[in-house]
Amino acid sequence: MTMSDLTAPRRDVVAIDIETVSLHPAAEVWEFGAVRRSPDGHHAVTAMLANPSLRHADREALQVGRFYDRHPHAPVPLRDRCKQSVQVLSAAHFARLVAETTHGATLLVNNAAFDVPRLERLLAAQGLVPGWHYRPVDVVDMCRGRITATGRVHPDPAPEMWSSRVVSQALGVALPTEEEAHTALGDARWVLRLYDAARGAQNPAMHSPTTTTGGVL
């Protein structure tokens, strides 16, 4: 840490989450959600990629994210798809949304080793470079540290194996609802609650900030 780090103004943080068609490194990111916190408050965005490639798709991953239920371009009969208002963007606009939402902020992520490289590849494919701070924050690691430091007892003797669900229960953080679970924005809001709990906030963020919605661009 340098003196400039200590004297620099506090930067925005942005809690993010993505849904992908599988765990494969080249799998398409089909949904992005984020909640950006600044001195002016919170701003949330979420969008889906138009016509995502299923080349590296995995059936289980698609089921977990409810791809066939939620994506307007999923290859299923219209009568079987949930009705919802969602912003569906072309690859270029999808990448630009990610770039603009995260620019100049510190990323808060549930699993930085998974999400960040995939967002970097998504931007690179459209000739964009990341503008977020080079040191993302893994909120589950933060929570593990707080649990250990405060002497909270947990039955699992291996903290590195504690999942986001386990640390949430240990710190009293509300889990996503059934409707929110495995949606990019619902999980991004969960990331922000975990971040607040790890920092010792009395009331982890339970807000429902404004969400950007719209049509196909």
pLDDT per residue as tens digits for the range 94-146: 999 999 999 999 999 999 999 999 999 999 999 999 999 999 999 999 998 88
177-205 mean pLDDT: 89
Cβ-defined contacts of 159-164 (< 8 Å, 24+): 164/110, 164/139, 164/140, 164/190, 164/194
CATH hierarchy code of domain 3-212: 3.30.420.10
Of the candidate ranges 2-16, 30-44, 198-212, the one whose mean pLDDT is the lowest: 198-212
Model-level pTM?
0.86
179, 7 contact by CB (below 8 A): no
